Amino acid sequence: MTSMAVIPGAMRPGLRLMRQLPVLALVLALAAAVMLALGPLGWRAGWWHYRVGFSTLMPWAAYCGLAAIAVALAALVIGRRVNTARQMVIGIVALTIGAAVAYAAPTRRSTTSRPIGTTRRNSARSCRCARPKRPIRSLMRAPRSVTSSAAPTLTSPR
């Protein structure tokens, strides 16, 4: 005869994964917060170039924050029957941190007027090379004489 006793620590693999989702969401949210903080600090400290700090780390911090939001929502909605109260609190904290980072990363980048290296190419006035300063024909004319009627003349006082 076989025993049908349940081992207390054993659970299905799907339930084990659902219990780990809030922790995964918290790790993603903390990684996003660290990337958001290290972007400008690393540039100011001279660890990397401006583009690495603001054009690479900032967007990836936002993506990581969005991933933390998605995983935390999945952990809170799907795993509400499996997870304990402690894991639910971890999921809520991860959701909050992820939302804050996902909101702050694009906001911090948009404080500059325009990204570096971009110009308005659809306007002829935006590029100085579109209009030469003098037409080519004016370069071929003879130079103006110094004794024109508008030039003051030197006369001796009487």
The answer to pTM > 0.75 is: no
| Cα-Cα end-to-end distance for the chain | 142
Domain boundaries of the chain, sorted by first residue:
17-109
Residue with tokens 């971009």: 118
The count of C-alpha atoms lying within 13 angstroms of the C-alpha of 109, restricted to the half-sphere facing its C-beta, is 22
pLDDT tens by residue, 92-108 = 999 999 999 999 877 65
pLDDT tens-digit map of 142-152? 666 655 555 55
Count the neighbouring beta carbons within 10 Å of the beta carbon of residue 147.
7
Helices 85-109, 13-45: crossing angle, 10 deg rounding:
30
